[in-house]
Structure 1
Amino acid sequence: MEDFDAPAEGPPVAAFSSAFHVEEVRQDGDRLVYVGEPRVGQQALEREVWPLFREHGYEVRLTTVKDSETDPISGVELHQSRHALVADPRSMGIDGIPWTNVVMLLLTVLTTLFAGTIWYYEPLTSPLDLVTGDSWKFSVAVLSVLGIHELGHYVLSRYHDVDASLPYFIPVPTFIGTLGAVIRMKGRIPDRDALFDIGVAGPLAGLVAAVVVSTVGLLMDPISVPASVQNSPDAIVIEFGYPPLLHGLSMLTGQPLTYSDPSTAVNPVVFGGWIGLFVTFLNLIPVGQLDGGHLVRAMAGEQAERVAAFVPLALFALAGYLFFVQGLDIRDSVAIWTFWGFITIGLAYAGHATPIYEEPLDRKRMAVGLLTFALGLLCFTPVPFQYVSGF
């Protein structure tokens, strides 16, 4: 038996000695490091030590540490790599004001307001123009959809006692104004139930928000395209493809998505809902750390790797079909599916999230998962957008 005693805050060494042989115990500030060698495989080790450290308020992981010492005879510095259980304190609360999140949110408010001036054809001559026109409507539409999506993940992370950050919004001064929002998962996922719940909460919450935003936008008055824009040779016209779900909302509300009169356009709030639907579909692509990757990993276990292997091929095939068969320009939707083909290669290589325990899901969660993927397909359109010449 090991003679080492853990710090008072950590679990006793004897509690996991059958799974990990401890040779040395270190304390680096709040971090605990148990240097030694595993006596079982990594999965069995994690299942043994994870609940023990969690009870004491730590997240633990198996890693390697590099030690060095000087040879007394030759004077040469020798390096040695050894295994170690590294335990960091768990922090489920928000310590102080999350300034990074706040600043990124404020910047994203500005960039989405800027994007709103583009969609509402409002001249931007001073910073005050960002808040005196209608651009705030587009900003609220986009931020509410993205924010509710990420808060869905955050709330279920807290429910399952998994450490996660508040949403980080990503500001980009383009015609959308943002690249979306993310939360950072800092704790291990305990089981497949938790992985499923956290993964499914974002798409479902964001989808509800996108439906509400789209419906409100459809019921709002359309906007007028200025004659100066219609007659400008430099005007860029983007034609959006609407997914089946948005067409269904158009039918239910009795409001059109397009107008025969080129001087009339749908209210930009509808485009905010369109962004939410498109983001929902992209997040439900079943690969890696995407929400769809979490769902398929929770539903199919390690067989999810086989599903992920086909995803890039499907996206490249779609891009090829649009380019060679439909004859679309590369800058249109061909480019976006090619881009996502490469993105999913990287995500597949990085792998899925791995829960500590692998008990299968119950039938209720399996049904919710299948329904979620079906709803995701209703948010899909093969040609999300394309450039057209003139109004």
Structure 2
Amino acid sequence: MLGKPYGTSDHWRSLQPERGEYADEFDHVPPPTPGAFSRWGLPLVLFGLTVVTTLWAGAYQMNTKPAMGAWDFLVRYPNSLLNGIPFAVTLLGILVTHELGHYVLSRIHRVPASLPLFIPGPPHFIGTFGAVIRMKSPIMKRQALFDIGVAGPIAGFIAAVVAILIGLSYSQVVPREHTFGLQLGEPLLLQFFAWLMFGPIPPTHDIVLHPIGFAAWFGFFVTAINLLPLGQLDGGHVVYAVLGRRQRNLAMAVIPILLYLGLTGWPGWILWVGMASIVGIAHPPVVDPYTTLGAKRRWVAWAALIIFIVTFAPVPFSIN
């Protein structure tokens, strides 16, 4: 996920609407150079903490005593952290691949960006809130905005596909009465791969995902969330690069759908709408809004839409 809003830097050139061109009105003072800790130390510390919390989360998922809290579990069974390796390595692999997609394309387009900043989270679920890359200078053209925005979801999606195929090979189909707790929604692509792996599954049975499969499922979830066409999400960047100011119209059409899904299915969609409203539903303009994407990038945009459709679960979580 990209973290810095585009269009808010004092170093951007100002558009001259009456001439339809840009005047060289840069404040030539470069942005402050970050210190060594901000550039390298903070990302490494946050990543190290996230490794610990995701290992903890992966181990806690295998706890056979649901009433035991995560902290008590760690105190009593500290060696069990090793059991979290399959989940943690898979999840972090997907998230790192996603963020590297943004980072590499930022370097290609010569847009300075921070290293990924991972956000550790409580171990009761997955142990992380994801990661963000901070853009340190403005993105000038729609082509660069598109490439940087779309690279993360596509890269993370490919990693998640590999992981789900491995995870399903270790998963089991069991009678539903033997399952309890959190029920995961089934995006279209997961349904397809499950059918390839297990054939038709009776309605009285469920798939119990291996930790690798659960991490891959979460990779699909992250991909779908990021491709929502809202403000500073990756989908907002991509849609703005394709549609320009019409991105706001699409975002305003999506909001009622998410609210409906939040009221009738998973309440978390309401939280996402609230967060998007705070950050901004409409995408800020780029410096040069008149550049065109070209046919190849538009085909990639269609591919991103397909990825969103096959990874989106209307009700991602429910209690069985």
- Bucket of the pairwise TM-score, normalised by the shorter protein: 0.7 to 0.9
In structure 1, the residue matched to 2:67 is: none
Q: 1:40 & 1:107 partners in 2: Cα distance?
A: 43
The 3 A distance-change label for structure 1 pair 256 and 237 is farther
Q: Which amino acid aligns with 1:307?
A: L
Q: How does 1:35-184 map to 2 (within 5 A)?
A: 41=16, 47-49=22-24, 60=26, 85=27, 87-89=29-31, 98-121=40-63, 124=74, 125-131=76-82, 134-173=83-122, 174-184=124-134
The 3 A distance-change label for structure 1 pair 43 and 112 is farther
Between 271-280 and 356-365, the greater mean CA deviation after superposition: 356-365
Specify which of 145, 150, 154 is matched with residue 195 of structure 1. Answer: 145
Q: Deviations over 1:82-127 (max 9, x none)?
A: xxx3622586998997111111111111111111112222654243
Q: Deviations over 1:200-232 (max 9, x none)?
A: 1000000001111111111125499xxxxx7xx
Partners of 1:245 and 1:378 within 8 A in 2: yes
Q: 1:319 & 1:380 partners in 2: Cα distance?
A: 14
Partners of 1:220 and 1:267 within 8 A in 2: yes
* Partner secondary structure for residue 155 of structure 1: helix
Whether 1:265 and 2:216 are equivalent positions in the alignment is no
Q: Which amino acid aligns with 1:146?
A: L
In structure 2, the residue matched to 1:310 is: 253
Q: 1:309 & 1:292 partners in 2: Cα distance?
A: 14
Partners of 2:57 and 2:126 within 8 A in 1: yes
In structure 1, the residue matched to 2:285 is: 354
Structure 1 stretches lacking a partner, 5+ long? 1-31, 51-59, 61-84, 225-229, 323-327
The 3 A distance-change label for structure 1 pair 40 and 342 is closer
- Structure with more of its chain in strand, by fraction: 1
Partners of 1:92 and 1:164 within 8 A in 2: no
Q: 1:165 & 1:46 partners in 2: Cα distance?
A: 30
Q: 1:107 & 1:47 partners in 2: Cα distance?
A: 45
Q: 2:148 & 2:142 partners in 1: Cα distance?
A: 10
Q: Which amino acid aligns with 2:156?
A: G
Whether 1:241 and 2:182 are equivalent positions in the alignment is no
> Which fold has the larger relative contact order, with Cα–Cα distance below 8 Å and residues 6 or more apart in sequence?
2
Q: Which amino acid aligns with 1:176?
A: I
The 3 A distance-change label for structure 1 pair 296 and 202 is same
Q: Which amino acid aligns with 2:310?
A: L
Q: 1:280 & 1:91 partners in 2: Cα distance?
A: 32
Partners of 1:113 and 1:130 within 8 A in 2: yes
Partners of 1:286 and 1:308 within 8 A in 2: yes
In structure 1, the residue matched to 2:310 is: 378
The 3 A distance-change label for structure 1 pair 198 and 183 is same
* Partner secondary structure for residue 293 of structure 2: coil
* Partner secondary structure for residue 181 of structure 1: strand
In structure 2, the residue matched to 1:252 is: 196
Q: 1:257 & 1:141 partners in 2: Cα distance?
A: 26
Partners of 2:43 and 2:118 within 8 A in 1: yes
Measure how far apart 1:275 and its partner are.
0.5
Q: 1:114 & 1:258 partners in 2: Cα distance?
A: 34
Q: Which amino acid aligns with 2:140?
A: P
Q: 1:315 & 1:143 partners in 2: Cα distance?
A: 28
Structure 2 stretches lacking a partner, 5+ long? 1-9, 65-72
Q: 2:144 & 2:32 partners in 1: Cα distance?
A: 17
Q: Which amino acid aligns with 2:283?
A: H
* Partner secondary structure for residue 169 of structure 1: strand
Q: Which amino acid aligns with 1:128?
A: N
Q: 2:299 & 2:211 partners in 1: Cα distance?
A: 35
* Partner secondary structure for residue 93 of structure 2: helix
* Partner secondary structure for residue 153 of structure 1: helix
How many residues align? The count is 297
Partners of 1:120 and 1:223 within 8 A in 2: no
RMSD of aligned C-alpha atoms?
A: 3.4
Q: 2:87 & 2:284 partners in 1: Cα distance?
A: 34
Between 138-147 and 236-245, the greater mean CA deviation after superposition: 236-245
* Partner secondary structure for residue 128 of structure 1: helix
Q: Deviations over 1:153-198 (max 9, x none)?
A: 0000000000111111111123111111111111110200000000
